[in-house]
Amino acid sequence: MELKSDIQKTIENLESKTEGSVPIEEVKELIRGVKDIFEGRFESEDVHLYGELGELARFINEARKDLREFQPHLLTDQEIPDASDQLDAIVNQTEKATGSIMDSCEQLEGLNQRVIDRLISHNPPLDEDVLAGVDDALTESQNHITNIFESCNFQDLTGQRIMKIVKTLREVERQVLRMVVVFGLQNKSVDDDMRKKLEDEAELLEGPQLPGNSLEQDDIDDILNKLL
């Protein structure tokens, strides 16, 4: 419609300028312009755009079909929550087990102290060499207990990493729910409480970095030496 009115306007301009007598070259120019419009701009841009839109519509239809077959509500109602629960259980169980290991370490420390107290208060007093030998053994025992405590660091780090995965799973769940709503596959809205919870979680930092993505203590010490 717009093309036709443009052509009409051009013809009217020519008519008024030439009072009805139009040179043949100007007519040729006009025809070339019309030809360009139809064969050039229209075909290469507009037709191409219509084609792209058609492809997009077909893609959306296919995606809707795929999503229906995929049954997204199973993922959001069951599978992701189940996976999150399993990961939460891992965190809780490792925390409990780590607590139990540390309880035992503290018991061992208490026993070591009782041995020391008994030997020191022994009557008659024990030989110095015997006491020194026992002291060496107990010091070594204490070092092992300290090593166990240090190794319990793993629970904090793995716990934080798992919580990061749980957060990602919840985000996937939220995005799938959004797709369900957008494609009208299920009349279910995104849970506002879950959204709020996710936003709150996002405020926390990212958690521990994977090895290689994080600085080692020596690198941090270098920075501190320069800055402090």
Query: What is the rounded CA–CA span in Å between residue 84 and residue 166?
Result: 5
Query: What is the rounded CA–CA span in Å between residue 148 and residue 98?
Result: 10
162 touching another protein, by CB under 8 A? no
Query: What is the rounded CA–CA span in Å between residue 228 and residue 220?
Result: 12
Interaction residues for another protein, span 98-117 (CB under 8 A): 98-99, 102, 105-106
- Any long-range contacts for 79-86 (C-beta under 8 Å, 24+ apart)? 80/169, 80/170, 80/172, 80/173, 80/176, 81/173, 83/169, 84/166, 84/169, 84/170
Please choose, from the candidates 139, 202, 145, 191, the residue with its C-alpha nearest in 3D space to the C-alpha of residue 168.
202
153 touching another protein, by CB under 8 A? yes
Question: Which amino acid, residue 144?
Answer: H
Q: Which is nearer to another protein, 47 or 224 (CB)?
A: 224
Q: Which residues of 98-118 are buried (b: 16+ CB within 10 A; e: fewer)?
A: beeeeeebeeeeeebeeeeee
Q: How far apart are the first and last CA of the chain?
A: 73
Residues 6+ apart with CB under 8 A from 86: none
Among 27, 156, 188, 196, binds another protein (CB under 8 A): 156
93 touching another protein, by CB under 8 A? no
Q: Which is nearer to another protein, 28 or 96 (CB)?
A: 96
Q: Which is nearer to another protein, 81 or 208 (CB)?
A: 208
Q: Which is nearer to another protein, 187 or 225 (CB)?
A: 225
Q: Which is nearer to another protein, 60 or 224 (CB)?
A: 224
Q: Which stretch binds another protein (CB under 8 A): 43-51, 119-127, 145-153, 189-197?
A: 145-153
Among 104, 113, 146, 168, binds another protein (CB under 8 A): 146
Half-sphere exposure of 106 (CA within 13 A, CB side): 6
Q: Which stretch binds another protein (CB under 8 A): 95-103, 115-123, 165-173, 190-198?
A: 95-103
Interaction residues for another protein, span 17-46 (CB under 8 A): none
Q: Which is nearer to another protein, 24 or 205 (CB)?
A: 205
Among 84, 159, 170, 173, binds another protein (CB under 8 A): 159
Chain residues that interact with another protein, rule: CB under 8 A: 95, 98-99, 102, 105-106, 142, 146, 149-150, 152-157, 159-160, 204-205, 207-209, 214-217, 219-220, 223-224, 227-228
